[in-house]
Chains A and B, each alone.
Chain A
Amino acid sequence: MKIDSIQNGIVLDHITAGMAMRIYNHLHLDKLDCSVAILQNVKSSKMGKKDILKIDQEYDINLDVLGYIDPNITVSIVKNGVTVEKKKVALPKKLINIKTCKNPRCITTIEPGITQIFRLVDEENRTYRCIYCDADK
């Protein structure tokens, strides 16, 4: 199967197979008025199979969201059909308004307009802790 290269936009490569739709939804890519290609189960020498997302528009991508969902993703910025920058994402130290706290005793469950903030406490196990109530995610 062949998908055209993009001229100006972003390619998210090395997405763990099966994760592309989750990223699509978290980044709200359905709100964009441009072509977005979702490739699933693409053969990969390194990963066996992987997903790829291609966004045919310049777009200020939230790297923290990507890092939280799948820290192995490679982000390529494409201009005039050429990759001008490659970014490796990493597990973010903080999650801001990416997840909501599920602890029913947490102030975030009742306080209007509060910013949901989690901090990374265990990189190996990818554990985040709510800064308000200390509940783990």
Chain B
Amino acid sequence: MKHLIDSTDLSVQEIDELMDLALDIIEHKDKYSEACKGKKLATLFYEPSTRTRLSFEAAMMELGGNVLGFSSADDSSVSKGESVADTVRVVGCYADVIAMRHPKEGAPMRASMVSPVPIINAGDGGHNHPTQTLTDLLTIRRERGAMKGFTIGLCGDLKFGRTVHSLIKALSRYEDIHYVLIAPNELRLPAYLIKEVFEDQGIPYEEVLTLEEAIPKLDLLYMTRVQRERFFNEADYVRLKDTYILDKKKLKSAKPDLSILHPLPRVNEISPEVDEDPRACYFRQAMNGKYVRMALILKLLGVTI
């Protein structure tokens, strides 16, 4: 593994190795506390994303390394018109690994073509966000114990939600997983993804309109936000929005060992009253994001303990 641009670049074996390493880091934090001593991570964030940037920086710090970088394009040489290629050529002289977030799709791919050091895609517009996918996979593995034998419901904006698209592509490479797609007609999973991910591979899936009808059968529920601006008319949004809000009442019919995931930030799609429910995993999921990034940095730097 030289760079991480798209989670589908990784084989199942590489993903499993990353997960194993992340689990070992969780179990033996002290062992890794100086693993990256003397190494530097550059966080090149051309658009703000506090959560992802802090997760990367915390990951490197917990490995004993240092961080440098910028958190918006205004603070960087890009405001003077420098190309992505030139920026990474220069930063590659100062840092050992680069995490890049950019509003333009494919910017990290461009960076990887010229960078002297590994590039990690920390989100490129609405395109890819592979470390979120790895975070989701680690959370599923930790919560379920194995990457098989469960029914996962994906709820909300399945049309534009890149986290959902990446997650189902990654999960579809594992066997014995059943999918329930929960979305209004306006926000259904795109037809090409249904064909490529499910139909062409003979993977079972079902589409339902409401969370209520899906929830009793789920082992995992991946929530996403339904945004008002995605609807063609206000009346449809008002009619449907509560259908996709998870609250205590809806959870009454859920399995006792359901795992509720959300990529965060959450707005109102999960009621705060759910936070205290042990089935809510989304804050543990955020924690897993740091561990999986630690594992990724170690892999890309070729550091072994």
Q: Which chain B residue shows the least CB distance to A114? A: B110
Contact B83 A132 (CB under 8 A): no
Residues of B within 8 A of A135 (CB): 105
Contact A130 B106 (CB under 8 A): yes
Q: Which chain A residue shows the least CB distance to B106? A: A132
- The A-contacting residues of B in range 153-208, CB under 8 angstroms, are none
Interface bin, chain A? 10 to 19
Q: Which chain A residue shows the least CB distance to B107? A: A107
From A109, A110, A130, A135, name the one whose CB has the most chain B CB atoms within 10 angstroms.
A110
Contact B105 A111 (CB under 8 A): no
User: Which residue of the partner chain, among A110, A112, A113, contacts B104 with CB atoms under 8 Å?
Assistant: A110
- The A-contacting residues of B in range 86-123, CB under 8 angstroms, are 102-107, 109-110
Contact A132 B85 (CB under 8 A): no
Contact A132 B84 (CB under 8 A): no
- Cα of A135 to Cα of B105 in the assembled complex, Å: 10
Residues of A within 8 A of B83 (CB): 111-113
Residues of A within 8 A of B127 (CB): 105, 133-134
- The B-contacting residues of A in range 93-115, CB under 8 angstroms, are 103, 105-114
Residues of B within 8 A of A108 (CB): 106
- Judged by DSSP, the binding face of A is loop
B64 an interface residue at 8 Å Cβ cutoff? no
User: Which residue of the partner chain, among A107, A112, A113, A114, contacts B105 with CB atoms under 8 Å?
Assistant: A107
- B257 CB, min distance to chain A CBs, angstroms: 36
- Cα of A28 to Cα of B105 in the assembled complex, Å: 31
Contact A109 B104 (CB under 8 A): yes
- The A-contacting residues of B in range 46-94, CB under 8 angstroms, are 83-85
From A105, A107, A109, A133, name the one whose CB has the most chain B CB atoms within 10 angstroms.
A107
- Cα of A111 to Cα of B110 in the assembled complex, Å: 9
User: Which residue of the partner chain, among A105, A132, A134, contacts B110 with CB atoms under 8 Å?
Assistant: A132
Known A111-B110, A132-B110; judge A106-B85 contact (CB<8 A): no
B256 an interface residue at 8 Å Cβ cutoff? no
Known A105-B125, A105-B126; judge A133-B106 contact (CB<8 A): yes
- B206 CB, min distance to chain A CBs, angstroms: 27
User: Which residue of the partner chain, among B84, B85, B105, contacts A133 with CB atoms under 8 Å?
Assistant: B105
| Subset of 5 A-B contacts with CB under 8 Å | A105-B127, A111-B84, A113-B83, A114-B85, A132-B110
List the 6 closest A-B pairs by CB distance, nearest first.
A132-B106, A133-B105, A107-B106, A107-B104, A107-B107, A133-B106
